[in-house]
Structure 1
Amino acid sequence: MSKVMLAIPVGIGVAAAIFAAVYFGTNEPESGDFTVSELVTLGSPYMGDESAPITIIEFGDYQCTYCYKFHKDRLGIIQKEYIDSGKASLVFVDFTLNGPDSVLAAEAAHCANEQGKFWPMHDVIYRSWKGERTGWVNRDAITQFAQAAEVDTASLNECLDSKKYHQEVLDTYEFAQGIEINATPSFLIISGDKITKITGNQPLEVFRKVLDGM
């Protein structure tokens, strides 16, 4: 894949530049390095109305410290202000920087999705966070997460044993690297032909500035 030209338009302001809210420019997202539909296919079900004018693509790792902090401190506010109001929708895409345990967590969320339980499983995993590479993600823990998310554990374990989503999770990581995602959490905020990249668990005002500017 060719590299995407990065630029910060004058309108974003100095503060957002300091907080690393980086703009891709205004090329149509359906030309060049990726399409919006590709990202959605690789990711979760939509949170919110898929026809909302803004799509937020979050690239995350279930063991990532700052992903956990975003989930705990930012997501609920963004959901209330933008997703529940119909202004935006959210799609979560796995970017498993922290190795095999992160891959296992991602597989478990995809397996839960077969039962229509992606977001409950996703939320339980993040609520259960205990650090990076500390061993808290394992098969026994996954079973407990599934029970808390009201996911049928027998079906989930059968899905995990089959490694049905294992390669997909690995391929998603490679794909994301190809479009210059290199940290978690990272976000692509997409509206029409405008794409904005935010890297890291930035202050809430950075997200509001970008979303309101769309």
Structure 2
Amino acid sequence: MQTATIAGAPALGKASAPVTVVEFGDYLCTFCHRFHEDTKGKIIQDYVQTGKAKFLFKDFPINDYLGGGSSLGAEASYCAADQGKYWEFHDYMYNNWGGEKAGWVTKESMADFAHNIGISNIDQFKSCLDSSKYANVVKDNYNLAKSAGLSATPSFVVFSASGEPKLVVGAQPYQVFQQVIDQSSS
């Protein structure tokens, strides 16, 4: 499972962590927002910060038809990554989530978000977004998810140290992730 690597959008956690959790998500997805609000922080605290797992996010913009914006938000996250603010932007998107059909993801709102998280060169951010510099990266991530048989967001692939993948579909409670990650660690 590989896609383009964006230097400013690294995995959270230690590269040597034995377990890798990959979220395939959509910035407009209700259940992705719910996972971010209810579960992600505990996974980061208990597994990523302790060196037991690393966490990655891959775009799976399946909700573009709901007023657009999924792909634009994903591209904006990589434009933020160009200035070292990928995870700040990612988290800000979910912390300021405006719903599935609300039209809240626009070039203007993305520039406002960039400003609010402390992007130092807003003109560079806007230029990046206007150029669609990362459109192919987002498309490649989408195609990766489809080729892996995924059809819903959020979907998670948890890789054990041996590379054995386990699938978790949906905004499952923390205990589900705890069980899968713990099994993948042994």
User: Fold match, TM over 0.5?
Assistant: yes
The CA distance in 1 between the partners of 2:4 and 2:18, in whole Å, is 15
The CA distance in 1 between the partners of 2:94 and 2:12, in whole Å, is 16
The CA distance in 2 between the partners of 1:39 and 1:168, in whole Å, is 8
User: Which string of whole-angstrom CA distances, capped at 9 and with x for unpartnered residues, describes residues 58-97 of structure 1?
Assistant: 0000010000010011011111000000000001000001
Equivalence for 1:168:
137
Deviation, 1:40, is 7.1
TM-score between both structures, scaled by the size of structure 1 = 0.79
1:148 aligns with 2:113: no
The CA distance in 1 between the partners of 2:140 and 2:17, in whole Å, is 28
Equivalence for 1:51:
16
Residue 80 (structure 2) aligned to one of 92, 112, 115: 112
1:71/1:126 contact within 8 Å kept: yes
Equivalence for 1:98:
63
1:195 aligns with 2:152: no
Unaligned runs of 5+ in 1: 1-34
Unaligned runs of 5+ in 2: none
Q: Which residue identity does 1:208 align to in structure 2?
A: Q
1:42/1:93 contact within 8 Å kept: no
1:105/1:142 contact within 8 Å kept: yes
TM-score between both structures, scaled by the size of structure 2 = 0.91
Equivalence for 1:180:
149
Runs of at least 4 residues of structure 1 off by over 6 A?
A: none
1:40/1:91 contact within 8 Å kept: no
What is the DSSP-based 3-state SS (H/G/I as helix, E as strand, rest coil) of the residue aligned with 2:56?
strand
Deviation, 1:153, is 1.3
Equivalence for 1:132:
100
What is the root-mean-square deviation in Å for CA atoms of aligned residues? 1.5
The CA distance in 1 between the partners of 2:98 and 2:47, in whole Å, is 29
* Count of equivalent residues: 178
